[in-house]
């Protein structure tokens, strides 16, 4: 799209970065990274300020990434204690419950310190030590953030698992990082329904010797089973603890957290982030991408189970002493105006959500938006997937009343923070483009051979130099880390995304180029879903691809071949959908199943997914070269089946 929405004079005048200085600042950040990142390190408090700023090389055989390596700090101290002298009474978190009739809460920085210290002391008492992994499986309530910060305070590594994951998925994640401790709640609430978190934990840890203690927060008061000796009541234990707990001094490169995400192959991988660089990067990006101003109410609608919740509900905003809103519910409950009702109620200034939510709300019409006053809004943001033109314009015109810049932030669990984004007051906007690299980020678009493309181009999105918020490893599998991110294009970090650059230098993300699909901003490896489908006893083989979906961005399309003597009829299809939902979690809901008799394979037996993607996307006039297929006739059958299923649209 050629249209441009220029930065307003008003925005430019008041922005945290001066437009006139920006190019120079970017140039310096790339040419003199030591100096730039040394200066940025000062935005957080260190027990011992680092002398060594960076030691980074992306080359596979000499790979090293260390930021601020001799610095000592504590993340929880940076999010809480350092603000106390001036801001003990300022609200750190606003909690808005699922049910609008229940009361919202304001938690001050002073109260946050007490809550986090008590829990940290309780964890210590239960035997949690520096370097231990603690799995957090919580609803969207402030206690989830307390749990993260309590771990950070005592040097434990948290692994937050999204509360929508199944017991199986939770179990895999507990086992992978050998968590001896789990923190959960009796139940969560979402859209008027309850989520059986404790019951899920019980199933996940059943027979797992490694889990010693499960700390349970009483949230709904619903009935739960109790395992004496293993289960610990938060209410009875935590509240008895002292509200003072000395923050553990941590090396900058000590792990802060692990967060599982899907890759193109194998099981979800534990993305490992460390302390110093991550904190600097989360804080800097939060301030500049959102042009955050002291005293503003900032709301990110993500779940803390995702990286967006880590960096932009907890660590970034709290490092900047912001007021961060935590919402327990969903955008459609009790009606489609809930986001805007909350915006009005809490006078939200900065609002950050996912395109999938915008598309779902757009469909319901403007009245749900316009009946609420949104004059407090100043900045709008999106994250997680490309935003289509119609959704962007609606967000800009209707939600933001043509007043609020939209920051379309491109980044990943692996990157820790924003990597490509417009900056309010600096960047003119193009709907659907994530615009320009963030300060210190050198984007390179390369062809399949790894040649760097200049000017207007399309190719694979890579990052040329390290940045402090970058992941450091895949927990327990450093070789897989090097292989996944640094082996395709030597000397560069490969993102797995494709991108275009236009003549003005704007970056347009075109989506994943690997076997990862993005459903409503949630990432799945196609292999992960296939493994689950294949466990159903009617299934011989399956292949999963993403296809364009109006609301979800991508939907899940599964081609399934029945075992000898079985048929994939409508009953079995329903069963398979249910099976995968309970195996992975309800977010992994297959949209379309095609019962197939064969898959397009090369003579060496490799599935040609390109063809499956094209069929699922109704793009069959353009199948490309099919001459290497072992049985080309299979393609015609798949196309015919597809037309039958989708009504030959
Ligand atoms: O494909 C890109 C897409 O989401 C992927 C990262 O997913 P995840 O690690 O779950 O993190 C999501 C939240 C940071 C990317 O590889 N993606 C993320 N943001 C955008 C995006 N695609 C287009 N535009 C974005 N703004």
CA of 406 to the centre of ligand 1 (A): 16
Ligand 1 contact via 308 beta carbon (within 6 Å): yes
For residue 147, give every residue at least 6 positions away whose Cβ sits within 8 Å of its Cβ, in sequence order, or none: 119, 134, 136, 138, 158, 183
Lowest mean pLDDT among 74-78, 529-533, 622-626: 622-626
CA of 412 to the centre of ligand 1 (A): 5
pLDDT at 604: 86
Paired with 382 in beta bridges are: 353, 408
CA of 559 to the centre of ligand 1 (A): 26
C-alpha dihedral, 43 to 45 to 48 to 52, nearest 10°: -20
Ligand 1 contact via 496 beta carbon (within 6 Å): yes
CA angle 468, 472, 476 (to 5 degrees): 165
pLDDT tens, residue by residue, 110-150: 999 999 999 999 999 999 999 999 999 999 999 999 999 99
C-alpha dihedral, 577 to 580 to 585 to 589, nearest 10°: -30
Interatomic CA distance for residues 236 and 579, integer angstroms: 38
User: Helix, strand, or coil here: 530?
Assistant: helix
Under the banding of pLDDT at 50, 70 and 90, the label for residue 2 is: low
| Protein residue whose Cα sits closest to atom 22 of ligand 1 | 385
| Protein residue whose Cα sits closest to atom 5 of ligand 1 | 412
pLDDT tens, residue by residue, 457-500: 999 999 999 999 999 999 999 999 999 999 999 999 999 999 99
Interatomic CA distance for residues 224 and 203, integer angstroms: 12
CA of 297 to the centre of ligand 1 (A): 25
**For residue 602, how far is the Cα from the chain centroid?**
35
For the chain, which domains are there?
A: 74-330 (3.40.50.12780), 516-646 (3.30.300.30)
How many C-beta neighbours within 10 Å does residue 149 have? Answer: 26
Measured CA to CA in angstroms, residue 368 lies from 99, 101, 189, 371 at distances of 17, 18, 23, 6
CA of 384 to the centre of ligand 1 (A): 4
Interatomic CA distance for residues 607 and 596, integer angstroms: 14
Measured CA to CA in angstroms, residue 569 lies from 10, 347, 559 at distances of 60, 52, 13
Helix (H) or strand (E) holding 637: helix 633-646
Interatomic CA distance for residues 540 and 559, integer angstroms: 11
Mutate to test the pocket of ligand 1, among 162, 307, 385, 419 (most ligand atoms within 8 A of CB): 385
Summary mean pLDDT of the chain: 96
User: Which one, of 550, 560, 546, lies nearest residue 616 by Cα?
Assistant: 546
Ligand 1 contact via 303 beta carbon (within 6 Å): no
CB-based contact 80:90 (threshold 8 Å):
no
Q: Left if phi > 0, otherwise alpha if psi is -120 to 50, otherwise beta: which for 95?
A: beta
pLDDT at 631: 87
pLDDT tens, residue by residue, 221-263: 999 999 999 999 999 999 999 999 999 999 999 999 999 999 8
Place of tokens 């660089």: 277
Ligand 1 contact via 587 beta carbon (within 6 Å): no
Query: What own/partner pairs with CB < 8 Å and gap ≥ 24 does 9-14 have?
Result: 11/291, 11/405, 11/424, 11/425, 12/425, 12/426, 13/425, 14/293, 14/425
| Protein residue whose Cα sits closest to atom 7 of ligand 1 | 412
Ligand 1 contact via 411 beta carbon (within 6 Å): yes
CA of 233 to the centre of ligand 1 (A): 37
pLDDT tens, residue by residue, 14-28: 999 999 999 999 999
Q: What is the mean pLDDT of residues 265-289?
A: 96
Mutate to test the pocket of ligand 1, among 391, 509, 513 (most ligand atoms within 8 A of CB): 509
Measured between alpha carbons, how far apart are the two ends of the chain, in Å? 26
E strands present in 302-365: 323-327, 350-353
Give the relative orientation of helices 167-176 and 197-205 as an angle to the nearest 10 degrees: 50
**For residue 575, how far is the Cα from the chain centroid?**
29
CA of 413 to the centre of ligand 1 (A): 8
CA of 10 to the centre of ligand 1 (A): 30
Percent of the chain with pLDDT over 70: 99
Interatomic CA distance for residues 41 and 50, integer angstroms: 8
CA of 1 to the centre of ligand 1 (A): 21
Ligand 1 contact via 383 beta carbon (within 6 Å): yes
pLDDT at 627: 83
Atom from ligand 1 closest to the CA of residue 509: 23
């Amino acid at each position: 799209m050629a249209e441009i929405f220029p930065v307003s004079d008003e925005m430019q005048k008041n922005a945290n970065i001066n437009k006139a200085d920006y190019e120079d600042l970017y140039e310096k950040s790339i040419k003199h990274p030591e100096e730039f990142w040394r200066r940025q390190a000062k935005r957080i408090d260190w027990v011992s300020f680092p002398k060594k700023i960076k030691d980074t090389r992306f080359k596979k055989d000499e790979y090293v990434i260390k930021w601020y390596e001799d610095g000592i700090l504590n993340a929880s101290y940076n999010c809480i204690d350092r603000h106390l002298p001036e801001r003990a009474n300022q609200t750190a978190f606003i909690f808005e419950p699922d049910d609008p009739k229940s009361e919202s809460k304001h938690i001050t920085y002073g109260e946050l310190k007490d809550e986090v210290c008590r829990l940290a002391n309780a964890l210590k008492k239960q035997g949690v030590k520096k370097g231990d992994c603690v799995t957090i499986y919580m609803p969207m309530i402030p206690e989830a953030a307390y749990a993260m910060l309590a771990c950070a305070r005592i040097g434990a590594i948290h692994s937050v698992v999204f509360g929508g994951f199944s017991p199986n998925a939770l179990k895999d994640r507990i086992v992978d990082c050998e968590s001896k401790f789990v923190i959960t709640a009796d139940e969560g609430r979402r859209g008027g329904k309850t989520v059986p978190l404790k019951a899920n934990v019980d199933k996940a840890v059943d027979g797992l010797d490694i889990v010693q203690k499960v700390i349970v927060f009483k949230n709904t008061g619903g009935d739960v089973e109790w395992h004496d000796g293993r289960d610990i009541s938060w209410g009875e234990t935590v509240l008895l603890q002292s509200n003072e707990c000395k923050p553990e001094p941590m090396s900058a490169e000590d792990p802060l957290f692990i967060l599982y995400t899907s890759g193109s192959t194998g099981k979800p991988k534990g993305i490992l982030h460390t302390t110093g660089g991550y904190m600097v990067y989360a804080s800097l990006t939060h301030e500049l991408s959102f042009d955050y101003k002291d005293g503003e109410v900032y709301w990110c609608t993500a779940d803390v189970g995702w990286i967006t919740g880590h960096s932009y509900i907890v660590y970034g905003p709290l490092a900047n002493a912001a007021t961060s809103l935590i919402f327990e519910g969903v955008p459609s409950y009790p009606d489609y105006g809930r986001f805007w009702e909350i915006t009005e109620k809490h006078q939200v200034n900065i609002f950050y959500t996912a395109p999938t939510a915008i598309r779902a709300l757009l469909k319901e019409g403007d009245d749900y938006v316009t009946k609420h006053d949104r004059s407090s809004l100043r900045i709008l943001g999106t994250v997680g997937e490309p935003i289509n033109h119609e959704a962007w314009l609606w967000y800009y015109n209707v939600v933001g009343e043509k007043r609020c810049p939209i920051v379309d932030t491109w980044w990943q669990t692996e990157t820790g923070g924003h990597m490509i984004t417009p900056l309010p007051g600096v960047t003119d906007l193009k709907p659907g483009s994530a615009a320009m690299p963030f300060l210190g980020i050198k984007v390179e678009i390369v062809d399949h051979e790894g040649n760097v493309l200049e000017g207007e181009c399309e190719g694979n999105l890579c990052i040329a130099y390290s940045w402090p918020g970058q992941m450091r490893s895949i927990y327990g599998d450093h070789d897989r880390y090097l292989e996944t991110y640094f082996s395709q294009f030597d000397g560069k970090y490969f993102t797995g995304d494709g991108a275009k650059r236009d003549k003005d230098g704007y970056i347009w993300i075109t989506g994943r180029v690997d076997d990862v699909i993005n459903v409503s901003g949630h990432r799945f490896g196609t292999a992960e879903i296939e493994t689950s489908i294949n466990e159903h006893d009617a299934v011989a083989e399956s292949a999963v691809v993403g296809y364009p979906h109006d609301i979800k961005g991508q939907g899940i399309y599964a081609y399934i071949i029945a075992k000898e003597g079985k048929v994939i009829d409508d009953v079995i299809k329903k069963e398979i959908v249910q099976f995968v939902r309970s195996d992975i979690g309800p977010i992994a809901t297959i949209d379309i199943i095609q019962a197939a008799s064969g898959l397009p394979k090369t003579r060496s037996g490799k599935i040609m997914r390109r063809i499956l993607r094209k069929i699922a996307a109704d793009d069959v006039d353009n199948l490309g070269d099919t001459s290497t297929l072992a049985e080309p006739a299979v393609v015609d059958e798949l196309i015919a089946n597809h037309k039958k299923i989708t009504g030959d649209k």
